């Protein structure tokens, strides 16, 4: 019998507006994220993931610190990153921070490692963006070596070697649950299987079923390595309201603002309403009533064989109060509906 689908939430701490329309300070956004996570825990959701960014439109640059605050106010929800940009961090320090979070939360810490689609951290911390791939590959190799919690002897090209080195604090029970976040690279899929790590697919546009070949590749790689496959999860954006019309009307202004701001930096044209509607109806935007969102999640779960779905519930300056209502509907209505559809 397969395990029931897990339900998670992700946020980057998008800077939101207050009732008057003014942008909130980053500090208040961070406090609001903690309250959102507490609500998710009360609703029985399985996971809350916080993204790492270093820019004005997202408030969270240190997910582990915010997750520690959440750990102190929750009892069951698992706590992780979405994602940790390993390329511009130190693998040992990342392991130590999440091992500490694991201790504070009594074993609820997880980490999702990725290269990141934003690159602000590279110049900020003094890393050469031209070594984007090399940095991630080498640092992931070191991080994977740390998971055994045995003395580590390791050597690479970009940092001094380690010889018989223990890293503290150790994870109290078992190992630190570590996922590899993938946006669509076959090499990253095979790399996750190589290190025997679960796969988190970031599907932020287009038909989710287009990722089926990556799921097949992941399973084939595990078969070749002679090991059972690890779990697969999906991270996608969305928003839940009482009706489809309400959800679209409430999400559209903030979603377009976020998309156009990022698009201006990357040379994308402004998002049109018909593109938004197409993503909602046929793509990877899970926006609508609880019934609509539940049917769409269930279809993705069946198509890709996933064990966890993580809804990226924040989108630009959408107010905190609306996010709280969306989270409540996701936990109280969407999750039970999906479970019924998959039963």
Question: Per-residue pLDDT tens for 266-312?
Answer: 999 999 999 999 999 999 999 999 999 999 999 999 999 999 999 99
d(CA 316, CA 341): 31
Beta bridge partners of 238: 286
Mean pLDDT of 190-200: 98
Residue 7 has pLDDT above 50, yes or no: yes
For residue range 201-210, what is the model confidence (pLDDT) as tens digits?
A: 999 999 999 9
> Is the pLDDT score of 2 beyond 70?
no
What three-state secondary structure class fits 148? coil
**Number of residues written out for the chain:** 343
Fold of 6-342: TIM Barrel (3.20.20)
Q: Kindly tell me the burial class for residue 264, based on how many C-beta atoms sit within 10 Å of its own C-beta (0-12, 13-18, 19 or more).
A: exposed
pLDDT at site 1 = 41
For the chain, what percent of residues have pLDDT higher than 70? 99
Structure confidence at residue 116 (pLDDT):
79
Number of H helices, E strands in the chain: 12, 12
Domain boundaries, the chain: 6-342
Q: What is the pLDDT of residue 316?
A: 87
DSSP 252-314: HHHHHHHHHHHHHHHTPPPPPHHHHHHHHHHSS-EEE-HHHHHHHHHHHHHHHT-SEEEEE--
pLDDT at 117: 78
Q: Classify burial at 140, counting beta carbons within 10 Å of its beta carbon; exposed 0-12, middle 13-18, buried 19 or more.
A: buried
Comparing CA positions, the residue from 306, 300, 46 lying closest to residue 199 is 306
pLDDT, tens digit, 9 for 90 and up, residues 86-99: 999 999 999 999 99
- Which segments within 172-259 are labelled E, that is strand? 177-182, 199-202, 232-240
E-strand stretches of 12-87: 47-50, 78-81, 84-85
Per residue in 124-144, pLDDT (tens digit) is: 999 998 999 999 999 999 999
Q: 50 or 1, which is more confident?
A: 50
The pLDDT of 139-162, averaged and rounded, is 97
The mean pLDDT value of the chain amounts to 96
pTM: 0.96
In terms of Cα–Cα distance, which of 159, 36, 55 is closest to 116?
A: 55
């Amino acid at each position: 019998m397969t395990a029931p689908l897990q339900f998670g939430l992700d946020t980057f701490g998008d800077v939101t507006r207050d009732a008057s329309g003014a942008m909130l300070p980053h500090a208040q956004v961070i406090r609001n994220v903690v309250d959102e996570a507490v609500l998710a825990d009360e609703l029985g959701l399985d996971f809350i993931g916080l993204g790492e960014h270093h820019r004005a439109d997202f408030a969270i640059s240190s997910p582990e610190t915010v997750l520690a605050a959440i750990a102190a106010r929750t009892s069951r929800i698992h706590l992780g990153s979405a994602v940790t940009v390993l390329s511009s961090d130190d693998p040992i320090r990342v392991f130590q921070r999440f091992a500490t979070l694991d201790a504070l939360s009594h074993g609820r810490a997880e980490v999702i490692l990725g290269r990141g689609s934003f690159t602000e951290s590279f110049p900020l911390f003094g890393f050469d963006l031209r070594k984007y791939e090399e940095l991630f590959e080498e640092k992931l190799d070191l991080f994977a070596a740390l998971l055994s919690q045995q003395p580590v002897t390791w050597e690479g090209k970009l940092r001094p070697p380690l010889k018989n080195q223990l890293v503290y604090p150790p994870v109290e029970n078992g190992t630190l649950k570590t996922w590899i976040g993938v946006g669509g690279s076959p090499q990253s899929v095979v790399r996750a299987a190589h290190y025997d790590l679960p796969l988190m697919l970031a599907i932020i546009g287009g038909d989710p079923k287009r990722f089926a070949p990556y799921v097949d590749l992941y399973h084939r790689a595990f078969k070749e390595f002679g090991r059972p496959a690890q779990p697969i999860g999906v991270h996608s954006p969305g928003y839940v309201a009482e009706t489809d019309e309400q959800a679209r009307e409430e999400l559209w202004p903030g979603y377009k603002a976020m998309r156009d701001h990022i698009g201006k930096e990357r040379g994308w044209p402004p998002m049109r309403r018909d593109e938004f509607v197409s993503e909602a109806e046929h793509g990877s935007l899970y926006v609508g009533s609880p019934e609509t969102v539940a049917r769409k999640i269930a279809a993705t779960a069946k198509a890709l064989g996933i064990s966890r779905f993580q809804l990226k519930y924040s989108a630009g300056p959408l107010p905190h109060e609306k996010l709280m209502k969306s989270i409540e509907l996701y936990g109280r209505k969407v999750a039970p509906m999906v479970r019924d559809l998959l039963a």
